Structure 1
């Protein structure tokens, strides 16, 4: 690349960067007060039916909030909560929750089910999307530090096409799983 074209690229990028607002963690913290009743002050939900948001991928949180707002994902609690969020609100909330540290969740997993769940995650190649350790990436969620009950429900929701905002990936995988597989996978994930 010659010097002129590099300068042009940097100038254009600089102009574009100035128009893109960075997510504001402190603003997200203030906005997250409305989320605390279900997800906890720092995103560490103590109710096993609500997901832990602390440490979740910011892009994933943003996309899920957007899907709740636009109706691509539906939930009687979250859909109305997201309805009035602006794009800026969603980015700020995502940045705040992503910056928090997830707590370890006490769950007494059945070692045999954990072993079977691990084997099944290897068989269906969960790490191809969720990466090693099921830590997620970009719009693919981190599965570690998540409640057993929440994980179980999400797997069933994908299998039963109650949840469909996944571009078909999870729906395709989950339809190959038996109820026993789903329980074992959720048990395994609860230990991560």
Structure 2
């Protein structure tokens, strides 16, 4: 059994972060999906469930404005925000801190942008995406949980070697290959 995490990180622990962990063991299933607030809760879940890859919806490299990798994504039709903006700076700082701790736990951490990953997958919504990879979703998800589930699927596909990688001198962002018609 191998687990993959997706984290739709909020800039402040006062706001909810969506977290999803999926497991690959004779099929795919959701092990956890929900909203967490504190760094301790997020890290505690990661420590307990031990994913091999975590895809985080937050910039993991700095930038004063748009990074070159962001400009490449924008050129391809994806809508991303630069880590240099004030609100994004707080998100970046939290993401880098958590990523460092998770890497210390042996988790590979990658940057993603769930709405862009959903678009690149060709799927109309997160429920269709989940179905396309064999995950059953039995409840209505919040936007943060949807983004976390997409991010966990990016982590899964990265683990399998099936992602789109946008790379520049100042970072890399992982999206999904086409999964729906």
Q: Same fold (TM over 0.5)?
A: no
Higher relative contact order (CA 8 A, sep 6+): 2
- Which structure has the larger Rg? 1
> Which structure's residues are more often strand, by fraction?
2
> Which structure's residues are more often helix, by fraction?
1
TM-score, normalization: structure 1? Answer: 0.27
TM-score, normalization: structure 2? Answer: 0.28
